[in-house]
Amino acid sequence: MARNKRPTLAAIENVERKAQKFSGAITGSMVIALVDENKEPVRVVQLVGRDVFDVKKPPQISIPMIFGDYLYPAFFKAARGGRGSAKTQSIIRIILARMQATCTYVGCFREIQKSINESIKQTIETVINDLGLRDQFYITQKEISHPGTGSKMVFAGVKHNVTNVKGMDWIDIAFCEEAENISSASWEVILPTLRKDNAELMICYNPKNILDATHIMCDQYAAQPFNEDGSRASIVKLINYKDNPFFTKTSYDQMMRMKKEDPELYEHIWLGMPNADSEYAVIKPSWIEAAVDAHIKLGFEPTGVRRIGQDVADTGKDTSALCACHGSIVWDLMEWKGKDVIYTAKRAYNYCIDNKIDELVFDSIGVGAGVKAKLNELSDMSYESNGSIAPFKISGFNAGGAVQNPEYMYTESKKNKDMFSNVKAQAWWMVRDRFYKTWRAVVHGDEFEDDEVISLCKDLPMIDKLKAELSRPQEDTDQNGRTKVESKKDMIKRGIPSPNLADALIMCYAPTGSDMQGLFIPGSMR
């Protein structure tokens, strides 16, 4: 494991002499104190070029000790955490120190920036003024520069400015604040732009969901913190208010008030825990969490129909998924990709036989039509070989189809047909109601019948991914004001992958009446 070297004072003086630029001035950053929880300096350092030196000089600024590693070279530097952690302020100070120390080109990126007013430029200007560095930096309407070193900082949105960002291969540092909003498509633009030797990506973010493109990327880099030569490749840390010795009493009081009033929001806002994207989430994370092993918490057993739901994908990047339930208990999950519909159909068919499943519900539109044909073929083959059809019902689920039981009063004032745009929305809301009632039962002690709630076995494969996917889709409405679920296309626009596991679970509990489009009984084609 590589260790950070601490040069002697003689060495730093030699580097400073070599780094002299104009008017006899010495190129070097402001002196930085890394302070502990009592605001006492643990180390005092200065940047000269790209090097970090311990110095015996009065510190000009202070940053929390936890940010010390971010001073050293690494391609990927991420600070994840909640409000009051000093993430943004500390990273800005480190970048300004780099701009003071050596010629450094910085690109500050956001997903969307329609004007300079939507950038982080004003925040950086405030930091410069607060540190008394206004005479060192030249600030124009669109840029911030350091004449002494030739450093320059520019600002851009990625989503609507792809060509311009791709052309910024001259930058040394890409800085992304509020990086949780950056989509996978935008990361595919930013990362290849960092082509210079010793280029760095520095990000601050508070994850909304474990499936955020940014959060996934951070996990990937965190898994490989060192390069093959032992040099540092990534620095990824969870940093919260407890790591910030400058955390104010006012902020503390606000935090404790939120903790009391909305614990779920407190964990996301102040502790940096993944949460739903917004209050518009169809199924809230707290409801999902309450459902984990709810059958144990509430004392009921698996009874009734054994059913699987299958979300079908083609051989592309998307995955096929299968979810199995026994009554109100979800007990199995699996997914796969890169397989054709024949493989998918066989896998589902054999799973049903092996696990004594009563009904298979599959996505019958698109590539699902091929699954339907193969399932019928398998059932026919079974009949021809042993004189019996498959001992389970097979139902096709057409998400865009008409609602089931259209005249039924979903609320006191609305029938199903007036409430839901399509059967997909109806199915999601049926599951939503189960999760809500489960939360009410587990958290508040309300009583419901076993078939009104839902339980996720805690040892489910990929349970964390399932929980994340269930909380991603948002509520939407059609032109007639009826409820629908956010489309996969709209989710992709937000940088969110298709919720295949969640869709498979929804199909486990979807209405499958005789008028359901795509419904068929094995052997019926003979």
Give 170-190 pLDDT, tens digit per residue: 999 999 999 988 988 899 999
Torsion of CA 353, 354, 355, 361, to 10 degrees: -40
Number of residues assigned to the chain: 526
| pLDDT score for 143 | 95
Using the predicted structure, report yes or no on whether residue 317 has a pLDDT greater than 80.
no
| pLDDT score for 279 | 64
Q: Please indicate whether the domains covering 66-243 and 286-508 agree at the CATH topology level.
A: no
Average of per-residue pLDDT values in the chain:
86
Using the predicted structure, report yes or no on whether residue 21 has a pLDDT greater than 70.
no
What value does the mean pLDDT take over residues 357-369?
82
Give the closest residue to 430 by CA, choosing from 488, 499, 509, 512: 509
- 62 vs 115, higher pLDDT: 62
Q: What are phi and psi of 238, to 5 degrees?
A: -90, 120
Q: Where are the domains of the chain?
A: 66-243, 286-508
Q: What's the CATH architecture for 286-508?
A: 2-Layer Sandwich (3.30)
- Which CATH superfamily does the domain covering 66-243 fall into? P-loop containing nucleotide triphosphate hydrolases (3.40.50.300)
pLDDT-based confidence at residue 40 (cuts at 50, 70, 90): very high
| pLDDT score for 384 | 54
| pLDDT score for 448 | 94
Using the predicted structure, report yes or no on whether residue 275 has a pLDDT greater than 90.
no
- Cα–Cα distances in Å, from 288 out to 77, 285, 292, 467? 32, 5, 7, 6
Of the listed ranges 9-18, 311-320, 452-461, the least confidently predicted one is 9-18
Using the predicted structure, report yes or no on whether residue 223 has a pLDDT greater than 70.
yes
Per residue in 439-481, pLDDT (tens digit) is 999 989 999 999 999 999 999 999 988 998 898 888 888 888 8
CB atoms within 10 A of CB 158: 25
Distance (Å, whole) CA 523 – CA 200: 62
What value does the mean pLDDT take over residues 384-412?
80
pTM: 0.67
Per residue in 79-113, pLDDT (tens digit) is 999 999 999 999 999 999 999 999 999 999 999 88
Torsion of CA 463, 314, 401, 507, to 10 degrees: -20
What value does the mean pLDDT take over residues 342-371?
85
Task: Decide the pairing of beta strands 138-139 and 144-146.
Answer: antiparallel
Distance (Å, whole) CA 32 – CA 395: 66
| pLDDT score for 413 | 84
Using the predicted structure, report yes or no on whether residue 15 has a pLDDT greater than 70.
no
Per residue in 476-508, pLDDT (tens digit) is 888 888 989 988 888 777 767 788 999 999 999
Walk across the sheet containing 32-35 and list its strands. 51-54, 41-48, 32-35, 61-64
Burial state string for 69-85 with b = 16 or more CB within 10 A and e = fewer than 16: ebbbebbbbbbbbbbbb
Annotate 318-344 with three-state secondary structure. Answer: CEEEEEEEECCEEEEEEEEECCCHHHH
Q: What is the DSSP string of 195-260?
A: -STT-EEEEEE--S-TT-HHHHHHHHHHT--B-TTS-B-EEEEE--GGG-TT--HHHHHHHHHHHH
| pLDDT score for 371 | 75
What value does the mean pLDDT take over residues 326-355?
89
| pLDDT score for 150 | 95
How much of the chain, in percent, has pLDDT values that exceed 90? Answer: 57
Using the predicted structure, report yes or no on whether residue 382 has a pLDDT greater than 50.
yes
What value does the mean pLDDT take over residues 408-425?
89
Question: Do the Cβ atoms of 76 and 235 come closer than 8 Å?
Answer: yes
